[in-house]
Amino acid sequence: QVQLQESGPGLVKPSQTLSLTCTVSGGSLSNGDHYWSWIRQSPGKGREWIGYSRYSGSTYYNPSLKSRVTISVDTSKNQFSLNLSSVTAADTAVYYCARYSGSSRWFDPWGQGTLVTVSS
Amino acid sequence: QTVVTQEPSLTVSPGGTVTLTCASSTGAVTSGYYPNWFQQKPGQAPRALIYSTSNKHSWTPARFSGSLLGGKAALTLSGVQPEDEAEYYCLLYYGGVWVFGGGTKLTVL
């Protein structure tokens, strides 16, 4: 059974880069049908799809965040990561990682989520 | 900006039936929006229930069903159980971008 777990700093200063890692257990990131996704939830903006990436490097980002986001997959570590640059208080949210099936269009499983606060 | 709208809250009695809906600001929701439905309880990770309008995951209880209804995506719970009290949210695909609904808080009372 595939499980996902987010990790990373819970506090980031404004203008810095938010970096999170999602560790995948019980499965491989090399399945060509799967995309490795990041989603966030904030009180002000609700839930927001950030983007996803395949192990091959194909990436798809939300246009609203595209200029600041990078998602990458490391199959050797069974991890994928999120980098969000130039953060502001508006980026304070619970960040979730999830697996996406490109052929069936579903998202599952999800990680438990990790709260990231942007504050000086 | 695309907005996906759900009922903020609904209340249902145990054993009853309730339908949650998911509307798009761009017009009628069709199968091409690949509607997904999720359940989330406090302190837990979201759990997928329905994908591509009406497809269930292997773990989705039979009392949950997805459909298109009156230009919206819909999630119907038949024979509601106390453990169904949770937040439910939908997700729609807009040709390269996924957009979440605001969520419906379902109370079983």
**pLDDT tens track of chain B, all 109 residues?**
899 999 999 999 999 999 999 999 999 999 999 999 999 999 899 999 999 999 999 999 999 999 999 999 999 999 999 999 999 999 999 999 999 999 999 999 9
Q: According to the model, what pLDDT value does residue B11 have?
A: 98
- Short-list B29, B45, B42, CA closest to B90: B29
How close does chain A come to B80, measured CA to CA in Å? Answer: 23
Residues 6+ apart with CB under 8 A from A75: A28, A29, A30, A55
Q: According to the model, what pLDDT value does residue A89 have?
A: 95
Question: What residues in B contact A104, CB-CB < 8 Å?
Answer: 51-52, 55
- Which residues of chain A carry a pLDDT beneath 70? none
The pLDDT > 70 percentage for chain B reads: 100
3-state secondary structure of B82: helix
Q: According to the model, what pLDDT value does residue A75 have?
A: 94
Compute, in degrees rounded to 10, the torsion defined by CA atoms A92, A95, A101, A104.
-60
How close does chain A come to B55, measured CA to CA in Å? Answer: 9
- The chain B residue lying nearest A98, using CA atoms, is B46
Quote the CA–CA distance of A11 and B68 in Å, as a whole number: 42
Quote the CA–CA distance of A38 and A86 in Å, as a whole number: 18
Q: According to the model, what pLDDT value does residue A45 have?
A: 81
A46 to B103: CB separation less than 8 angstroms, yes or no = yes
A110 to B47: CB separation less than 8 angstroms, yes or no = yes
Which of A106, A110, A112 is best to mutate for the B interface (most B CBs within 10 A)?
A: A106
Quote the CA–CA distance of A69 and A11 in Å, as a whole number: 18
Quote the CA–CA distance of A119 and A102 in Å, as a whole number: 36
Q: According to the model, what pLDDT value does residue A14 have?
A: 98
3-state secondary structure of A63: coil
Q: According to the model, what pLDDT value does residue B30 have?
A: 97
Question: What residues in A contact B36, CB-CB < 8 Å?
Answer: 105-107
Provide residues of B within 8 Å CB-CB of chain A.
34, 36, 38, 44-48, 51-52, 55, 57, 89, 91, 93, 96-100, 102-103
Q: According to the model, what pLDDT value does residue B41 have?
A: 96
A104 to B57: CB separation less than 8 angstroms, yes or no = no
